[in-house]
Structure 1
Amino acid sequence: MNETKQDPREPAIVAPAIGLVNRQTFQAAPRRAITGIFLILLFGALYLAASFVLPVVFALLFMLVLSPVVRFAQRKLHIWPPLTAAALVFGTFLVIIGGFSFLTGPLTDLASNVPRYIAAVNEEVEAVRERLGTLRGARIEASQAVRSEAAPQGPQSVILDGPRLLNSAALLVPQIAASIAFALIFLFFLLSSGSLFYQKLIESLPKLSDKKLALTIAHEIETELSRYLFTITLINAGLGVVIGTLMWAIDLPMAPVFGVLAFALNFIPYLGAIAGMMLVGLVGLAEHGEVSGALLPVLLYLAATTVEGQFLTPILVGRRLAMNAAAIFLAVAFWGWIWGVVGMFLAVPIMVGLRIVAGYVDGLKPLANFLSAERHPSEGHDDAETE
């Protein structure tokens, strides 16, 4: 029988190979740790510097949306970019002022009625407790004993009042006004510079391939965000008109205000619709004094948002910008945790830009795949052929 002889040079070859693998493994671990530490510090900085970062993010977002208008006016109409930028910024300012002027009065009335709305909710809760208590005699006796020992009487759950809420809102007005002014001024400088932003971006990169890739990514983000925000704004405007009309048809007070709020809240996926339904349900309960009066506006609101979310938005936005529903929900929750309600409005635009960038970077392709919606095999084949 022939025995296989071991090559005496094999240990000298295998040992360095094993050592190389171990070195690569140990070298990759610190890089992952550094990346994790960097992300933690980054999100911590975004949280702490929200008052400065948010106006900058809004200005950059509007710059990406309005830059095509400035370039079109410069190339086709031969208008000086600062003039176009000033007109766009002034128009944005007028829209903001008009929105505040329209909503200030109705929202003040709504805030002043908050105790009445909460009292109506408390009455319904107490009624439900009494109905459940008839089936549980022991619980009735215990609740009566607790109520007899408790000193305060009346609806203790009503802890909000109109003046206190208005005073807290008044304290935020100067800060909000300063943030809006800063964002508009910064937006003017970004738009008036024309293509200087992209030129500086290209000049900061060393390789020609990196310059072309950065320019491609920037233009695609600009195009997709402009298309997405324009389409979603039109959809939400139509939804606001429909909901305002439905609330007016059932004689719900301040129906136009609910239409405007539906328009604004629908920029927040999922959670915005839930907040709108809770609001109309609360007002309906306070006005009619019974649960059936709250169910009708909630059901109408739910029907309108369901038609919009399941039919209109997929058709008008298209599959190109379709994203993973779970990823959208996580993004809304995360940026809401970082920046509050404003972060919820910014979650989807940030997600769109991140998905586009991840699609061009080899190491981030799994992230782009996770953020994208599920595609049919035929769609993926068509995309591959197109590329």
Structure 2
Amino acid sequence: MGGIVERPGDGNDAEAVAAAPVRRFPPLITFSIVGTFLILLCGALYLGRALVLPIILALLLALTFMPTVRGLARRGIPEAISAILIIVMIGGMSLAASVLLAGPVTQLIEEAPRTISALREKFSYSGGTVSALIEASKQVEEMADGPDAPDKPAKVVIAQPGILSWAADTLSGIGSTLAATFVLAAFLLASGDLFLQKVVRILPTLHDKKRSVRIVHDVEFEVSRYLLTISVINICFGVIIGLAMAAFGMPNPVMWGIAAAALNFVPYLGALVAVALVAATAIVTYPTLTMAAFPPVAYLIINLAEGTVITPLILGRRLELNAVVILIALAFCGWLWGIVGVLIAVPMLVVIKVFCDHLPRLANFGEFLSGAAPAAVDAAPSAEGERPAVAGDRRDRA
């Protein structure tokens, strides 16, 4: 039967064991097994998102701040104290942002029907034909439902929750997820190198131990550098957007700044959503369309400057990702985990790419995720049989 390994009876004969034939599964069966596993994995991630999301977020936080905790430990500050201080700082920033956003977001949701009505009035000249078609359709339905029409079964309409109830449920779910994330991240950071030490102990050779330590430290360094840098860039971007919206007289500039910082974690789609929201609010706020064009155009110019000049200049092209892969990851994580999944899709891709770049067997997949040109690779491999040195690696800089 396919997949069964045939071994000789004498277990002491090493040569015979090494030469024993290995019969593999046919490609179709292998593909079916892998496909079934992936479908079951997606179902498990979807159904278990209440458990999976806090774990993934906590791991991202641990990868981001573990080098900081390790550096403070070398200066005599215990890991537990560093972890608590970091989590308190992040939790305080999240709480402050929630407090600042509570009032403007509630007001924005309450005024949504009025805003939609105002937009319809602004563009009423282009909606005449559509309105006429809708009115004609209603008249046809009334004629069909007249007294001479045959009896029809009664329509049952299920009342849907209002937008305020949906927003409250969404925010409460995000709040509980963040609370679990902060607790788990605090324990991960406070544990220091405990898990790494356990992995090192179970590895068989000294070469594997050294290699695993170096890989883990390099991955932590690159992921921490990327996530911290991109977070600082997004915060500065949000401050600039908030000041620009205040200069143009847009309502709730603080809300626009915080929303811009959060949406900037979502490449491409975040900018499109933000520009559309700014444009809709500006059209309702300003009396003419010419004046209403300035805020979204300013947002777009600032976003283009940040995405095409500032971020590549600071981070370089080393961790640039494939645009198609980014869009697929955004759609997939958004379907799995909603808003939080969209926000963490790109950081997760970066972590996966960094791991692939440090593991020779996954180097091809890492190159597939990359959006930059292939890096210059030395022709000769290292003496220890590891992956070739890539220009820009931390080891080369050291």
Pairwise TM-score range, normalised by the shorter structure = 0.7 to 0.9
SS in 1 for 2:318: helix
Counterpart of 2:244 (choices 243, 246, 252) is 246
Aligned CA distance change for structure 1 residues 27 and 347 (closer, same or farther; 3 Å): same
CA distance 1:140–1:340, change in 2 (3 Å):
closer
Classify the secondary structure of the residue corresponding to 1:320. coil
Deviation by residue 1:148-187 (Cα, 9 ceiling, x = unmatched): 5577xxxxxxxxxxx9322332234443333222111111
CA contact (8 A) 1:116 1:286 kept: no
Q: Deviations over 1:69-99 (max 9, x none)?
A: 21111112x1222111111122222111111
Counterpart contact for 2:100–2:254, Cα < 8 Å = no
2:71 is matched with 72
Contact (CA 8 Å) 1:217, 1:356: kept in 2 or not?
Answer: no
Instruction: Report 1:267-278 matches (<5 A).
Output: 267-278=265-276
> Paired residue for 2:386?
none
Q: Which residue of 2 aligns with 1:145?
A: 136
Deviation at 1:113, TM superposition (A): 1.1
Is the Cα–Cα contact under 8 Å of residues 262 and 276 in structure 1 kept in the other structure? yes
**Do the aligned partners of residues 48 and 209 (structure 1) sit closer, same or farther apart at CA in structure 2, a change above 3 Å counting?**
farther
Root mean square deviation, CA, Å? 2.8
**Sequence identity of aligned pairs in percent?**
35
Contact map agreement 1:236 1:264 (CA 8 A) in 2: yes
User: Contact 1:247/1:255 (CA < 8 Å) preserved in 2?
Assistant: yes
Match of 1:53? 52
Equivalent residue, structure 1, for 2:155: none
Deviations 1:172-228 (A, max 9, x none): 444333322211111111111111021123335455554444333322221111111
Count residues in correspondence.
Answer: 347
Select 2:127's aligned residue among 122, 129, 134: 129
The superposition leaves residues 250-294 of structure 1 with CA deviations (integer Å, 9 ceiling, x where unpaired) of 211111211111011101111111111111111112223554444
What is the TM-score of this pair, normalised by structure 1?
0.80
* C-alpha deviation, 1:373, in angstroms: 2.2
- Whole-Å separation in 2 of the counterparts to 1:317 and 1:203: 35
Mapped to 1, the partners of 2:172 and 2:81 lie a distance apart of 28
Question: Residues 173 and 312 from structure 1, CA distance in 2 versus in 1: closer, same or farther, beyond 3 angstroms?
Answer: closer
Over 3 Å counting, the alpha-carbon distance change for 1:23 and 1:33 in structure 2 is farther
Identify the match of residue 311 of structure 1 among 298, 309, 312.
309
Provide the rounded CA distance (Å) in 2 between the counterparts of 1:349 and 1:201.
Answer: 25
When residues 26 and 145 of structure 1 are mapped into structure 2, their CA distance, relative to the original with a 3 A threshold, is: closer
Question: Does the alignment pair 1:219 with 2:217?
Answer: yes
| Correspondences of 1:284-303 after superposition (within 5 Å) | 284-288=282-286, 291-303=289-301
Preserved CA contact (<8 Å) 1:46 1:53: yes
Structure 1: where are the runs of 5+ without partners? Answer: 1-21, 134-138, 152-162
Q: 1:72 to 1:127 in 2, by over 3 A?
A: same
Q: 1:346 to 1:207 in 2, by over 3 A?
A: farther
Matching residue of 1:330: 328
Moved more, 263-272 or 240-249: 240-249
Q: Structure 1 pair 35/362, CA: closer, same or farther in 2 (3 Å)?
A: farther
Instruction: Give the whole-Å Cα distance in 2 for the aligned partners of 1:321 and 1:376.
Output: 12
Contact 1:124–1:290 (CA under 8 A) maintained in structure 2: no
Give the AA of the match of 1:237.
Answer: I
CA distance in 2, matches of 1:310, 1:352: 18
Q: Deviations over 1:96-123 (max 9, x none)?
A: 1111111111111111111111112333
